[in-house]
Amino acid sequence: MNLTYQTIAPGALRDECLRLREGGMDFLVFLTGLDLGDEGFGVVYQLENTQTKEQVNLRCVTPNREQPVLPTVSDIWDIANIYEREAYDFLGIIFAGHPDMRRIYLREDWVGHPLRKDDNPEAQNPLRMDNEPLSDTTWQYELSEDGTLTKRENVVFEPEDYVVNIGPQHPSTHGVLHFRVAIEGETIKHVDPVLGYIHRGIEKMNESMTYPQMLALTDRMDYLGAMQNRHALCKVIEEAMGVEVSDRVKVIRTIMDELQRIDSHILFFSCLAQDLGATTAFIYGFRDREKILDIFEETCGGRLILNYNTIGGVMHDLHPNFVQRVKDFIPVMRKGLKEYHDLFTGNVIARNRMEGVGILSKEQVIAMGCTGGTGRASGWHNDLRKLRPYDAYDRVEFDEITFETGDSFCRYMVRMNEIEQSLRIIEQLIDNIPDGPFQEKMKPIIKVPEGVYYSAVEGSRGQFGVYLESRGDKSPYRVHYRSTGLPLVYAMNTACRGNLIADLVTIGGTFDYIVPDIDR
Amino acid sequence: MALKRPAIKNIPYEEFKDNETFEKLVEELNQNGVNIAVRSLDWLFDWGRSHSLWPLTFATSCCGIEFMAVCAARHDIARFGFEVTRNSPRHADVILVSGTIVKKMAPVLKRLYDQMADPKYVIAIGACSVSGGPFRKSYHVVQGVDEIIPVDVYVPGCPPRPESFLYGMMQLQRKVKVEQFFGTTNRKERDPFKQEYKERSEKILESQEEA
Ligand code: SF4
């Protein structure tokens, strides 16, 4: 939808934010920086009241290009901590009062800020083959009354801390993620995630691509939510251009999204089991997953990277075998699910390692913006399919799975139960896929009217949103993807503190983050 | 002893698409002739080694998921003796670079490669590690892993199908099967194929020192 936003002067930002927070705006949906050219640098905030579902969009601009400084909101919404570090890394916006102004994706010795329009990252940063520096201290900047910026050193790890590096090459971090973990005995004191080992600069690349070209990269971010990611981007462009897709496309997209969700949750189960040493369960999971991949392959041509949704429709019509294949698959999956429960869910070792471990309360998940299964395991009703139904979700019946405890076991069970719900959704839709065109007629060159847009879908692991700012050209002015995984990685510190180091693997496994989606 | 069409029993010679490179390789190996006794031992060693190559579990992104699928039941990598995936580079023979390598990851990958014990092999899996793939224009992506480590087999695709994975790995097996184990492969300094890489990495280091 087209966003209406309030522009707030930097001086008034904190008061306004505090007032909104008091008024119940407890969820910071996304925060991102913008390069506005001569106007300076801006930051956009989207806030949501989790009770009333009201949303507010704010924008704060600083005209100073030499030394852009804005006040921090990291003490108001916990998750702003990591979002502001991202804005600092990409655009060099300094957040006064932020306790930890370090780069987050790029190397500490990186020169420049790549998302600035006048920055030339390739020229300034040749391939560096020396080991990257990692400091144990960080900076906090303060802006005084007369406009001078002072900085103070903050400590991340004390010299006497015992710090263990987990990753970037570690089999159970699920990709190239790096945790620096301070431990005392076997108890975790502090987890400091180091990101960017798969930062591919997608947001910057998008700024020089046409809209159809952009689509290809979304599949490759969260590859277990390839359908949903691309769906979100198509949705935001369609809404911006006022294109209404046919009923057939809506139903196809819904079915595909749900198949993808099952695919992702099976992989979650397999990997978690593998991390806990249950190799058999891994093989069982992949056995069933191949069946979904067969269905995808027949219609889309790809197994993992599907490239199926397009602006105004889908790439090809459904394969004639599709309906039958899906119908055959549903009972197979139900049987498989029962096997998983027999094999793994009831297992004493698995239970002991998951129950009561890594507890997050409802307030914590909201403050840290952990959407998706992780949030629902703590009792936060955040399923966008229920809150703001899109496509065909308003005409199907399904339950939003929530738990109360918020431990690893709940996070695991949410995903297992969601497989069943996804099957239910597919069952209701598969027999009545309406007729109609599978692709609307679009102009050969797609231009999005000037404006600011945001649209989100429920991805496999949370709210996946696309923020799009267009100036009416063939390519967007700024794109930001609300990553589903970034809040989860941020929450690792809170969830792991006080637990044993061996539990870090289980907690990380049940969070179910995908690293290329975090790094983008 | 000429070694023109090395007999590889399990796969017919015609089934491979690229036999030229392979024959060139054999020719280079045979330039100075070989000792019969040593060569027979070579055959034995290479036969054994080619069927128990241990890959390192190394995956940075999407292609890694396909690698997991290759390891799982349907495609079953164990049929070719690749099933012992190792988590430590010191145990591994071959590194399958599956996924995009970005500038921050490059020194880490290089270090992993250096930690592996000789003889070691590299397979570049997927468009990203072959050339940068869909992210070639990005400011933070290495344009192909051969900029930092020497690559034995390239497997294109985005992601490559499991069949291509297996095909690529079988290509590596062939390569291993014709190697002169004694005197070359087991002695890194005399390996003619790694020379080029050495020069290149020295060049990168030099250019860095200047900068
Ligand atoms: S080649 Fe394609 S599938 Fe493989 S890592 Fe690169 S983008 Fe992902």
Residue B25: burial class (beta carbons within 10 Å; 0-12, 13-18, 19+): middle
Residue in A240, A195, A271, A204 with CA at minimum distance from that of residue A515: A195
For A96, other C-beta atoms within 10 Å of its C-beta total 19
* Ligand 1 centroid, distance to B197 Cα (angstroms): 24
The answer to whether B197 and B149 are in contact (CB under 8 A) is yes
Report yes or no on whether pTM surpasses 0.90. no
* Ligand 1 centroid, distance to B135 Cα (angstroms): 9
- Would you call B11 an interface residue with chain A, using a CB distance cutoff of 8 Å? no
Burial letters for B193-204: b for 16+ Cβ neighbours within 10 Å, e otherwise?
Answer: eeeebeeebeeb
Q: Is the pLDDT of residue B188 over 70?
A: no
CATH topology of domain A202-519: Cytochrome-c3 Hydrogenase; chain B (1.10.645)
- Supply the pLDDT for residue A393: 86
Query: Which two structure tokens, joined as six digits, stand for A49?
Result: 């009241």
> Is there a contact between A220 and B61 if contact means CB atoms under 8 Å apart?
yes
Query: Which phi-psi region, left, alpha or beta, contains residue A201 (left: φ > 0; alpha: ψ -120 to 50)?
Result: left
Residue numbers in B near A130 (CB within 8 A) = 107, 208
- φ, ψ of residue A471 to 5 degrees: the values are -110, 20
Name the one residue in this structure whose structure tokens are 């390692």: A353
> Is there a contact between B60 and A175 if contact means CB atoms under 8 Å apart?
yes
Distance from CA of B124 to the nearest CA of A (A): 16
Partnered with residue A463 across adjacent β-strands are A458
Residue numbers in A near B108 (CB within 8 A) = 168-169, 176, 197
Q: Which residue of A has its CA nearest to B147?
A: A127
Distance from CA of B21 to the nearest CA of A (A): 30
Cα(B8)–Cα(B177) distance, rounded to whole angstroms?
A: 8
Cα(B205)–Cα(B211) distance, rounded to whole angstroms?
A: 10
pLDDT tens digits for B62-99?
888 888 888 888 888 888 888 788 888 888 888 888 88
Q: Is the dihedral of CA B74, B77, B81, B87 positive or negative?
A: negative
Of the residues A200, A204, A275, A280, the best mutation for testing chain B's interface (the one with the most B CB atoms within 10 Å of its CB) is A200
Cα(B62)–Cα(A219) distance, rounded to whole angstroms?
A: 9
Q: Is the pLDDT of residue B6 over 60?
A: no
Q: Which residue of A has its CA nearest to B141?
A: A200
Partnered with residue A451 across adjacent β-strands are A470
Residues 175-204 of A with CB under 8 A from B: 175-176, 196-202, 204
* Ligand 1 centroid, distance to A220 Cα (angstroms): 7
Q: Homologous superfamily of A6-122+130-154 in CATH?
A: NADH:ubiquinone oxidoreductase Nqo5 subunit (3.30.460.80)
* Ligand 1 centroid, distance to B133 Cα (angstroms): 7
Spans of chain A, pLDDT less than 50: none
Atom of ligand 1 at shortest range from CA of B61: 5
- Would you call B78 an interface residue with chain A, using a CB distance cutoff of 8 Å? no
For A1, other C-beta atoms within 10 Å of its C-beta total 13
Would you call A258 helix, strand, or coil by DSSP? helix
- Supply the pLDDT for residue A390: 84
Cα(B165)–Cα(B162) distance, rounded to whole angstroms?
A: 5
Cα(A426)–Cα(A327) distance, rounded to whole angstroms?
A: 9
Q: Which is higher by pLDDT, A192 or B57? A: A192
Cα(A499)–Cα(A343) distance, rounded to whole angstroms?
A: 26
Q: Is the pLDDT of residue B21 over 80?
A: no
Cα(A15)–Cα(A286) distance, rounded to whole angstroms?
A: 52
Residues 272-301 of A with CB under 8 A from B: 282-283, 286-287, 289-290, 293
In the sheet with B94-98, reading across from the earlier edge strand, the strands are: B55-56, B94-98, B121-125, B153-155
Cα(A419)–Cα(A421) distance, rounded to whole angstroms?
A: 5
Residues 137-196 of B with CB under 8 A from A: 137-142, 147-148, 158-159, 161
Measured at the CA of A290, the angle between CA A213 and CA A503, to 5 degrees, comes to: 90
Distance of CA A134 to the CA centre of its chain: 25
* Ligand 1 centroid, distance to A226 Cα (angstroms): 12
The answer to whether A81 and A154 are in contact (CB under 8 A) is no
Where does the pLDDT of residue B5 fall: very low under 50, low under 70, confident under 90, or very high at 90 and above? Answer: low
pLDDT tens digits for A17-36?
888 888 888 888 888 888 88
Query: Which two structure tokens, joined as six digits, stand for A264?
Result: 């992702």
Q: Domains of chain B by range and CATH?
A: 51-177+196-210 (3.40.50.12280)
Partnered with residue A138 across adjacent β-strands are A154
Pocket-forming residues, ligand 1, beta carbon under 6 Å = A 220, 305; B 61-63, 99-100, 126-128, 133-134, 158-159
The answer to whether A192 and A180 are in contact (CB under 8 A) is yes
**Best of B65, B96, B98, B100 to mutate for ligand 1, by most ligand atoms within 8 A of CB?**
B100
> Is there a contact between A287 and B74 if contact means CB atoms under 8 Å apart?
yes
Query: Which two structure tokens, joined as six digits, stand for A114?
Result: 């790549």
Query: Which two structure tokens, joined as six digits, stand for B25?
Result: 């390789």
Taking CB atoms and an 8 Å cut-off, how many pairs form between chains A and B? 137
Which of A198, A289, A293 is closest, CB to CB, to B61? A198
Residue with CA nearest ligand 1 atom 6: B128
- Supply the pLDDT for residue B1: 45
- Supply the pLDDT for residue B9: 58
Q: How far is CA A357 from CA A47, A98, A361, A503, in A?
A: 30, 30, 12, 7
Distance from CA of A177 to the nearest CA of B (A): 9
Distance from CA of A212 to the nearest CA of B (A): 14
- Supply the pLDDT for residue B196: 67
Of the residues A118, A130, A198, A286, the best mutation for testing chain B's interface (the one with the most B CB atoms within 10 Å of its CB) is A198
Amino acid type, B174 = R
Q: Is the peptide bond before A476 cis (omega within 30 degrees of 0)?
A: no
The answer to whether A476 and A468 are in contact (CB under 8 A) is yes
Domain definitions of chain A by residue range: 6-122+130-154, 202-519
Residue in A245, A222, A261 with CA at minimum distance from that of residue A392: A245
Query: Which two structure tokens, joined as six digits, stand for A518?
Result: 């975090």
Residue numbers in A near B138 (CB within 8 A) = 200-202, 204-205
Cα(B8)–Cα(B136) distance, rounded to whole angstroms?
A: 37
Which of A131, A198, A286 is closest, CB to CB, to B105? A198
Which of B62, B73, B105 is closest, CB to CB, to A287? B73
Which of B72, B108, B111 is closest, CB to CB, to A283? B72
Q: How far is CA A43 from CA A55, A88, A347, in A?
A: 17, 11, 48
Residue in A235, A239, A244, A303 with CA at minimum distance from that of residue A458: A235
Burial letters for A480-490: b for 16+ Cβ neighbours within 10 Å, e otherwise?
Answer: bbbbbbbbbbb
Distance from CA of A169 to the nearest CA of B (A): 7
For B189, other C-beta atoms within 10 Å of its C-beta total 7
Residue numbers in B near A201 (CB within 8 A) = 135, 138-141
> Is the ipTM beyond the 0.85 threshold?
no
Partnered with residue A31 across adjacent β-strands are A45
Query: Which two structure tokens, joined as six digits, stand for A119?
Result: 């920055």
The contacts of residue A12 (CB under 8 Å, 6+ apart) are: none
Q: Which is higher by pLDDT, B180 or A426? A: A426
- Supply the pLDDT for residue A13: 82
Percentage, residues of chain B above pLDDT 90: 0
Name the one residue in this structure whose structure tokens are 């994975």: B165
> Is there a contact between B61 and A223 if contact means CB atoms under 8 Å apart?
yes
Mean pLDDT of B43-65: 83
How many helices and strands, by DSSP H and E, does chain A display?
A: 17, 16
- Supply the pLDDT for residue A1: 57
Which of B66, B100, B204 is closest, CB to CB, to A198? B100
| Helix or strand (DSSP H, E) at A517 | helix A515-519
For A2, other C-beta atoms within 10 Å of its C-beta total 10
Of A127-136, A361-370, B148-157, B183-192, the poorest mean pLDDT is in B183-192
The answer to whether A93 and A507 are in contact (CB under 8 A) is no
